[in-house]
Chain A
Amino acid sequence: MSLQERDSLCILRLKGGESSALEELYDRYTPLLYPVALRILRRAPDAEDAVQQAWVQVWKSAGSYDPRRGTVAAWLLTVTRTRALDLYRSVASRKKAENQVNPEPPSPPAEPSRLAQQSELGERVQNALGSLPPQQRQVLEIAFFEGLSQSEVATRLGAPLGTVKSWTRQALMRLREQMPQEEWT
């Protein structure tokens, strides 16, 4: 049975209330999800809270997973990122109220070289990101890790909304093309 088939089976088992299915998914995907939450929230305790909330949400709402919208991995990522961004906004809002100062934004886009991973695949991902035109990479990173909508990204960058949409699509396509399937195995 392939990994994705196991993932799909896990979703079915989750719907049936099997907590062991969640444990299986947790072990498989937390190494992907936690770094995203940490990149957004920057504090490990906050990132752990976000990841915990995400897994509980997955447990309670496995029925909302729609395979037409993406893989199980992509869905888990969406749930975790949303929880992390919500928590970030909540923490930022509280700090602002307490200190009346602007909160620090989430981690700024990092240079690919600083993010270099030990693994060969990690390096390939970094190389693929680094090969994007700077504006396209910036659009991806501030949209995804800072949770800005397309119109907010356009305002931030002072670029027309249509251009931002086009950059987003081109950047994802190039990222996808530069990591062809056979290289991921």
Chain B
Amino acid sequence: MSQHREEHLDLCAAYALGSLDEADRRLLEAHLEQGCAQCEAALADFSAATVLLAASAPAARPSAELKRRVMAAVRSDGPEAAPAPEGRRLVLERPRRAMLSWAWAAVAAALVIATAISWNTASRLRTELEAKRSQMTELEQRLADEQRWAAVLSAPQARVVELATTPQGTPDLKARVTYDPATQRAVVVFENFRAPTGHDYELWAIRGATPAPASLGLVKADDTGHAVLRLENVGDPATLGAFAVSLEPAGGSPNPAAPSGPVVMLGKVSG
């Protein structure tokens, strides 16, 4: 994303005036496409000033015939349908005061609303729209994520490993691993995991012919002791032997390759 720079405001001024050089126009439009609140606000002001500049042209009004020609062309959906008649009569009189006042009133009102309402409203609506789009994208991502993890639980080849409490664990601990060998993803559900103060429970995968533990992360349970871990790359089904839970000092084992505290739960992965 191109960062807003002071020179962009110079470009906005020339853009509103319609005098931007081509290279600068491309540069500014690329910048605006990415959204820049400062430049959009500046454009609103510079556009209003340009309308004022336009209003400095000497007042004049076209012939009444012009409107008929325009509307005829439009209703036929093309300018060719209503070619300008030969020998048009020029009607260029000094405008009457009433007409002039009306014209100024229209310009003034347009300018007032332009900056006071339209721009603010448009900006607000645009911001809201962007926020909604962002929420929608986030929800879509979450939904896709949920579906991906739900697929682990419903995979026909999924293996379920109920971890058993060891003599060093409290009897009410419960943990169940659902593991999909095809994707090597696992969903682990924990119950009654209230770690003593100053401690954390840590989940481990035991892999290899010579069993080697690898940390899968800390178990951060809610107040009821419930926790769910979703794990990627749990391990090759050919070498994954078991899951284990240890009770560690707060923050987990200092060694990510070995529990430092007692192993409180263990569950072997059946072939």
Contact = CB atoms under 8 A, between A and B. Distances in A.
B6 to A, nearest CB: 10
A4 B10 contact: no
B59 to A, nearest CB: 6
A52 B84 contact: yes
Interface of A is mostly: helix
B211 interface: no
Given A30-B62, A172-B49, 19 more contacts: A4-B117, A19-B74, A23-B67, A23-B71, A26-B71, A29-B110, A30-B66, A36-B57, A44-B91, A45-B88, A45-B90, A51-B62, A55-B74, A67-B122, A82-B18, A112-B56, A140-B53, A165-B13, A169-B12
Nearest to A184: B108
Given A56-B73, A68-B32, A126-B56, A118 B97 contact: yes
Contact of A31 (B16, B44, B102): B102
B162 interface: no
A96 interface: no
Interface of B: 7, 9-14, 16-22, 24, 32, 40, 43-63, 66-67, 69-71, 73-75, 77-79, 84, 88, 90-92, 97, 99-104, 106-119, 122, 126
B115 A144 contact: no
Q: Which 5 A-B pairs have the closest CB atoms?
A: A31-B103, A4-B113, A70-B47, A71-B114, A169-B13
Contacts of A55: 70, 73-74
B195 to A, nearest CB: 53
Contacts of A112: 56
Interface of B is mostly: helix
Given A22-B71, A48-B88, A122-B55, A181 B115 contact: yes
A12 interface: no
A19 B75 contact: yes
Interface residues of A, number: 81
15 contacts: A22-B70, A27-B67, A31-B107, A39-B58, A48-B84, A51-B70, A68-B40, A73-B107, A77-B50, A117-B100, A121-B104, A122-B55, A125-B56, A141-B53, A169-B10
A44 B62 contact: yes
Scoring B12, B22, B88, B107 by chain A CB atoms within 10 A of each residue's CB, the highest score goes to: B107
Contact of A172 (B13, B73, B88): B13
Contacts of A141: 53
Interface in A50-98: 51-53, 55-56, 59-60, 67-74, 77-78, 81-82
B67 to A, nearest CB: 6
A163 B15 CA distance: 16
Given A28-B106, A31-B106, A81-B18, A52 B46 contact: no
A115 B58 contact: yes
B51 A149 contact: no
Given A5-B117, A185-B108, A140 B17 contact: yes
Contacts of B102: 31
Contacts of B69: 48, 52
A103 interface: no
A129 B47 CA distance: 15
A34 B13 contact: no
Contacts of A49: 84
A39 B115 CA distance: 26
A53 B51 contact: no
A168 B19 contact: yes
Contacts of A172: 13, 16-17, 45-46, 49-50, 53
Contacts of B17: 140, 143-144, 168, 172
